[in-house]
Chains A and B, each alone.
Chain A
Amino acid sequence: MNFMNTPVADAGAINELLARYGVKFGIYKNGTFKEQLFPFDAIPRVITAKDFSAMEKGLVQRVDALNLFLQDIYADDKIIKDGVIPEDFVYISKGYLAPCEGIKPPKGIYSHISGIDLVQAKDGEWYILEDNLRIPSGASYPLIARELCRMASPYTFENSHIVDNRNYAALLRGVMDYVNCGGINVILTPGRYNAAYFEHSYFAEKTGSVLVQNTDLFVEDNILYMKDYQGGKTRVGAVYRRISDEYLDPMTFLPESLIGVPHIMDAYRAGNVAIINAPGNGVADDKGIYYFVPKMIKYYLGEEPVLKNAPTYLPFYEEDRKYVLDNLETLVVKDVSEAGGYGVVFGRDMTKEQLADWRKLITEQSRRFIAQEVIDFIDLPITDNGDTVMRKADLRAFVLSGDKTRVWASGLTRFSRVADSFVVNSSQGGGFKDTWVLSQD
């Protein structure tokens, strides 16, 4: 069966529904907050059962290894002592947080929700682009899009063996309940003007959690509570926080944070509350650490990695640096501390002077950059003003770690709306598609 170019029957109806259901994301332009609809393309990405089964195996393996790595780094540092990963890549990483040393998160899980970005090359092989283990966002969009597609175009799903993806909230709820230390589940949002506010509120509704801001929470005797309007308090057992580590607790991290919860780290350290995802995960999804993930899989699991990394060079190693300097024209260079598609430059777009500048910069700050071969990834068809055009797209797969590690049979397919652009991020104007995983080939 080939669905590749089959749009869901009524694209107009779906876009109308997306608008009506407020499926938006916020962006700041010139300092003002604006909400935009996330452009939806009605031609789904289809992943065959065979492909998905391999992908699933690879993703579970990768996320399990990353969780073991985080456990190790914040406890025994075995992988460093055994010489598999140079310590520089760990302790200088911005995502490494010394105040998390020695804390054992509930059930030992660090990355509960992992967003793993992949691309498919023209030869059909899937490559890992990056791991997002802090607060990966985006699952709500394909989740609600599927619901709306099934409303607008029900017969598309007749006998098509498309795995129903509408279990995401149940999976998320399962993870929250599994690590909950006694008390309610809450989703902590920085507020209405966050880019992903739709997602925060939608997940709160769908998981039966209370959507809270920092002022709704307080800590007493190392226990986290939510206060209600009558002055009562309710114990909180799990916080799915959608604010980043550095703002999480002004008593431990940035003192100027106005969106954090004072002393939440004390409650967490005492084992009285689960923080989803655990603080300190940034050390494992750093672009520099990415290079070492296949080695981690071998080290912790004794297995060969199922999914490949894009061929990556670390200028930190002399041999790699030489290769990068010699082949800069064909490589893509990424700043390890940037995210969201920023800090990414292609050698082929550089002038002679720029190439020389970059060679100098890479030599001087070898730890700051990685370089990768440009993967010629497949274009997907999208509808543009009635025409079908081909555009670059990636896939963010969501892996949830609770009593076991599960891959959500769907994902967020983001595409570039500009021809030949590799930048698919929603913050830079990209759109999204539904991702269909087939239950049989």
Chain B
Amino acid sequence: MKRLRFEYETRLEFSHSVAGHCFTLRCTPFSDERQTISEANCEITPNAGEIWHSRDSFGNMLVCGRMDFPHDEFSFKVSGEAHIVNSCETVGTVAPFYRFSTPLTTAGEQISLFYESIKPSSSGVISRALELSESLYNSMSYVKGVTGTQTTAEQAMSQLCGVCQDYAHIFLALLRIEKIPCRYISGLAFETGETHAWVEVYDGGHWTGIDPTQNRLIGDHYIKLCHGRDYSDCPIERGIYIGSAQSVQTVLSRITEI
């Protein structure tokens, strides 16, 4: 069990002022039996415009907004306290779509070949998943800057390197070959200093968090923000701007134990 103080900030700087801006944020962690969130606070800059809340089909809380005035910077900062029990499981239900691949998690030739070469041998769902995670971990190298948010699992598999999002997508593709229900998780992790992505696998009424990038079950230093079938279902921030500006994004995440 850990008590963590978290702070997470994303800042977008535009090369030219944009005339307007719509956004959806999945940036506020919600409480479940693993994590209890208190004093959560979301600060959006510029501090004007319309802000409201919504919820998506995956159950995520959304902060929606619209700014109809020129601005050259946009940021949101989430902070609060999380009490996290040392468990990788939450009770929950599952929708059938979590068993099917999506465009980002479709197994192509590379993933299928890889799967054939490392087919797990154990019988339980979680044990098989952990075997897949281990094989993946042993084959991939963690390299920044070689993939982007739109990189598919198959593309990342072909180059055998990528970041946590790519590990998660390949892992999902492998699990879905086995028809194991699984979902993509965006969150914050103690060590990384950035946002992190991992996977939850469903079995027997529980979702179990597995982090393929670290090849481990998640522990009490993982704060979950949102989930979906893959990254594109649940980006932490999605926005569109009116204007032709380039944007530079900086992300800061700080988690300290209390």
Contact = CB atoms under 8 A, between A and B. Distances in A.
Interface of A: 77, 80, 87, 91-92, 96, 98-103, 218-222, 250-252, 255, 262-263, 266, 269-270
Contact of B96 (A87, A100, A252, A270): A87
A286 to B, nearest CB: 14
A98 B50 contact: no
Question: Chain A at the B interface: mostly helix, strand, loop or mixed?
Answer: loop
A222 B62 CA distance: 11
Nearest to A103: B57
26 contacts: A87-B96, A91-B97, A91-B100, A96-B97, A98-B95, A98-B229, A99-B56, A99-B58, A101-B57, A101-B95, A103-B57, A218-B66, A220-B66, A222-B64, A251-B23, A251-B24, A251-B64, A251-B240, A252-B56, A255-B240, A262-B22, A262-B66, A262-B240, A263-B66, A266-B64, A269-B55
Interface string B221-254: 0000000010001000010100000000000000
A98 B97 contact: yes
A266 B62 contact: yes
A99 B233 contact: yes
Contacts of A219: 64, 66
Contacts of B23: 251
B99 interface: yes
Interface in B50-74: 50, 52, 54-58, 62, 64, 66
A102 B57 contact: yes
A261 B65 CA distance: 13
Given A91-B100, A101-B97, A263-B64, A220 B52 contact: yes
A362 B246 CA distance: 45
Interface centre among A96, A266, A269 (most CB of B within 10 A): A266
Contacts of B64: 219, 222, 251, 263, 266
B212 to A, nearest CB: 22
Nearest to A270: B54
Contacts of B66: 218-220, 262-263
A84 to B, nearest CB: 15
A222 B238 CA distance: 17
A222 B52 contact: yes
Given A91-B97, A98-B95, A250-B22, 14 more contacts: A87-B96, A91-B96, A91-B100, A99-B233, A100-B57, A101-B57, A219-B64, A222-B52, A251-B22, A251-B64, A251-B238, A263-B64, A263-B66, A269-B54
Given A80-B96, A101-B97, A221-B50, A255 B238 contact: yes
A407 to B, nearest CB: 33
B57 A266 contact: no
